Structure formats: C-alpha cells, structure tokens
C-alpha cells in the first residue's frame, strides 16, 4: 500500500485482477521489444533485395534469387528465423534463433556469427528493412535486406532500402534486386 492512500479491500481486488489480466495477456510480450508489438514482424517474408559487404557478393549478385524467411517467437521470447536460400543448385533451409540484446528490436547469436540483427525501418504491413552484422571464419561484414510481405516491393520500400544501403556505405555493386525465382521460397512457406 502507498503512503497516504487508503485502498479498500474491493478496490485492491479490482487492481489485482486487472494486473493479473494484463500479465497473462499475450500482448504483454510487446513490452520486451519496446512499444512495438513483435507480432507485427512475425510471419512469412520475401527477401527481395540485398546489400552486402561479403567477399564475392558483387560477382555473385546476378545469380541470387528471392529468398524466404518465416519469423516467429520462441517461448523464451527469442526470435526464430526459418529461412531458405538458393545455394549451389539447391535450396539451403536453415533455422536460427536470435537472442534479444538490451535494446528494443536488436538481436544476436554470436556463437553462430550473428553479431547484430535489427529492423532499421518498416511499416510492418508491407515491408521491413533489416540490418545484420555477421562474422564468419575470418570475414566480418554486414548486410541490409528488404523484407516484403509480397513478391513485389512497393516503390516506398525500394526507396527506403536504397536510402539505408547508401547511407550505410554500400556501393551500387554491393546492392542487388534478387531474381524472381521462388523455388526456394516455397520450401519455408509450406
């Protein structure tokens, strides 16, 4: 009880009931990601464009196809990504769990080489611009990806992707709109 406040037994019961209801609601998961509801990022996304500092990306970008990713939450409120990428004439399906860092929409899994995963910009209905800092073997690099709910990106989404890519120092040869081969996408959307 607070000093100077006299709360009746009935009022205490009402407040306790309201508190329990708030705590038990699924929406309370939103608190751990800040003011945004994480359910807005969940679901199926097409990756339509990529900017990457990875060695060899500029040479391979013409052969890269649209990728698919399904974002979900684990019971521990970690981000789980099920993704499918075209690699050497086959579809490579991966599951990665990312742990939340201290601030809002920032995740990581250093053991897997994912040092930073964050949403840079989004309207959640149509698109999200995602930044990832990676470290594999002796190579450290970053990527910016355009996530889209549909197979075609809006002009707004492409413009935002381009602005973020340029703003983060990616050259035009480090940016690619991915080819419209959806074969691997459907491996994770099933």
With a CB cutoff of 8 Å and minimum separation 6, the contacts of 179 are 63, 64, 65, 66
Tens of pLDDT, residues 106-148: 899 999 999 999 988 888 789 999 999 999 888 999 999 999 9
Q: Is 29 helix (H, G, I), strand (E, B) or coil?
A: helix
DSSP state of 125: S
- Nearest in space to 65 (alpha carbons), one of 95, 92, 94: 92
Contact yes or no for 105/119 (Cβ under 8 A)? yes
Is pTM, for the whole model, over 0.95? no
Tens of pLDDT, residues 26-59: 232 222 334 556 677 899 999 999 999 999 999 8
Which residues on adjacent β-strands are paired with residue 141? 134
Tens of pLDDT, residues 4-31: 444 444 433 333 333 333 333 323 222 2
Element (H, E) at 162: helix 155-167
Dmax (CA) for the chain in angstroms is: 72
Mean pLDDT, all residues of the chain: 81
Kindly indicate the confidence band of residue 190, based on its pLDDT and cuts at 50, 70 and 90.
confident
- Nearest in space to 159 (alpha carbons), one of 54, 49, 39, 33: 49
């Amino acid at each position: 009880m607070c000093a100077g406040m006299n709360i009746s037994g009935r009022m205490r019961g009402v407040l306790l009931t309201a508190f329990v209801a708030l705590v038990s609601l699924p929406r309370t998961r939103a608190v751990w990601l800040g003011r945004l509801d994480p359910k807005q990022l969940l679901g199926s996304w097409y990756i339509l464009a990529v900017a990457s500092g990875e060695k060899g990306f500029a040479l391979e970008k013409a052969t890269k196809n649209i990728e698919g990713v399904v974002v979900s939450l684990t019971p521990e409120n970690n981000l789980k990504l099920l993704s499918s990428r075209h690699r050497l004439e086959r579809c490579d399906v991966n599951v990665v769990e990312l742990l939340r860092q201290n601030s809002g929409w920032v995740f990581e899994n250093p053991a897997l080489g994912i040092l930073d995963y964050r949403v840079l910009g989004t309207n959640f209905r149509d698109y999200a611009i995602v930044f990832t800092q990676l470290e594999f073997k002796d190579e450290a690099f970053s990527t910016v990806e355009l996530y889209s709910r549909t197979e075609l990106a809006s002009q707004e989404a492409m413009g935002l992707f381009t602005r973020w890519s340029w703003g983060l120092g990616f050259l035009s040869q480090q940016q690619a709109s991915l080819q419209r081969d959806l074969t691997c996408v459907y491996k994770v959307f099933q």
